[in-house]
Amino acid sequence: MIRFLARRIITLLVALVAISIVIFLLLRVLPGDLALVMAGVNAPASRVEALRTQLGLDEPLGMQYLHWLGSLLHGDLGASQLTGRPVASLVATRAAITFPLIGLGLLVALVVGIPLGCAAVLARSRRVRAVFQTIAVIGGAVPALWAGLVLIVLFAKGSGLLPLFPSQGFPLNAWHNPGAAFMSLILPALTVGLIVGASIMRYTRSALAEQMQSDVIAMAMACGYTRTQAVLHVGLRLALPQLVSVIGLTFAEMITGVMVIENLFALPGIGTGLINDVGHRDLLAVQGELFMLAAFFLVIGLLVDVTHRVLDPRLKG
């Protein structure tokens, strides 16, 4: 376990450095000149020159990178060029919307996906299995944007057929009014949850189906379990490590995956913010945010791997 952990942490550090180099180079080398891009095409040359000095762009590339890396190591992710706010606090404000959204979405996904996945394996009739199969295939093929649109058409206040929930926006005073904030997250969370639920369902089904092939289920049934009990008690426990890995990675992926949904429902979350910063050419903020997100994904990847090992005693040794 310790060797595994050590190896995995070294990998993480190497990957972090690699990602930081990639992000840095993408934002420096490809567009030509960061200062020119940030100042805009029509800016006077003196303004561009001033910006270049201010950003340290007249230094050699290697030095610039080392400076950035140095400030990263001090926990300084940089600041927005437009508002002057530090990136860390920008991301924190946005995370207060994105994380509740993906938490709720994941909850919906698990409540929908795991029972459906189990039922798909337990169903004996060919026809019923075909129905579950159809649900899984179609659920995985629906564009998130469109699912959100359909939910708006059905349930949004103002234009919906059954006006229940606010269609867009997030209360300006954020979580000071928890009820309103919660209500505005329901439609987006449902959209995300149903789509992610379809994928959780597929994973549950295939992980359980794999266990069904093994002797374990037969053994449990020989010991007096019914087929349903064997699948739910023994099969699900054996499939758990795989499922936890998938759920962990899904959770991480949702942070950027809900970007479209945040945009559609006008929620000022991490994804919307990142897109806006890219649009505003606030490239230093983008650089910090991209690195922070990438680091977050890598850490989640590490945690998932470790949890997988803890949950699956067969991997020990």
Partner 1 sequence: MQLSRSSQPGSGRSRAVWRVVLATMWAHGTGRFALVVMALWTAIALVSLFWTPVPLGLTDGFNVWAAPSLTHIMGTDGTGADMFSWLIAGMGTDLFIVIVTVALTAALGLLVESLMVSRSVALSQGSIVTVDALISIPTMLIALMLAAPLGATVIGVILACGIGYGLNLARVARPAALLAARSAYVESARANGASAVRVFFTHIVPNCMPVMIVQLSLSAGTALLAEAGLTYLGIGVPSGTPSLGRSIATSVSLITVHPTTVIWPGLTATILVVALNLLGDNLRDAIDPLRNPALRQLGHAVQSSDAAPEREA
Q: Which stretch binds partner 1 (CB under 8 A): 117-125, 137-145, 205-213, 217-225?
A: 137-145
Binding status of residue 145 toward partner 1 by CB under 8 A: yes
Of residues 116, 238, 259, 267, which one binds partner 1 by CB under 8 A? 259
Of residues 57, 114, 152, 236, which one binds partner 1 by CB under 8 A? 152
Whole-angstrom Cα distance, residue 310 to residue 8? 14
Binding status of residue 246 toward partner 1 by CB under 8 A: no
Binding status of residue 153 toward partner 1 by CB under 8 A: yes
Whole-angstrom Cα distance, residue 209 to residue 82? 53
Within 10 A of 316 (CB to CB), how many other CB atoms are there?
9
Of residues 43, 174, 209, 275, which one binds partner 1 by CB under 8 A? 275
| Interacting residues of 2 by C-beta distance below 8 A, sequence separation 6+ | none
Whole-angstrom Cα distance, residue 146 to residue 286? 28
Yes or no: say if 209 and 121 are a contact pair by the CB < 8 Å rule: yes
Q: Which stretch binds partner 1 (CB under 8 A): 60-68, 205-213, 225-233, 279-287?
A: 279-287
Of residues 92, 128, 137, 219, which one binds partner 1 by CB under 8 A? 137
Yes or no: say if 194 and 108 are a contact pair by the CB < 8 Å rule: yes
The dihedral through the CA atoms of 151, 156, 159, 161 has a sign that is positive
Is 110 or 286 the residue whose CB approaches partner 1 more closely?
286
Of residues 11, 64, 93, 206, which one binds partner 1 by CB under 8 A? 11
Binding status of residue 38 toward partner 1 by CB under 8 A: no
Question: Which residues contact partner 1 by CB under 8 A?
Answer: 7, 11-12, 14-15, 18-19, 22-23, 26-27, 30-31, 137-138, 140-147, 149-150, 152-153, 159, 249, 252-253, 255-257, 259-260, 263-264, 271, 274-275, 278-279, 283, 286, 290, 293-294, 297-298, 300-301, 304-305
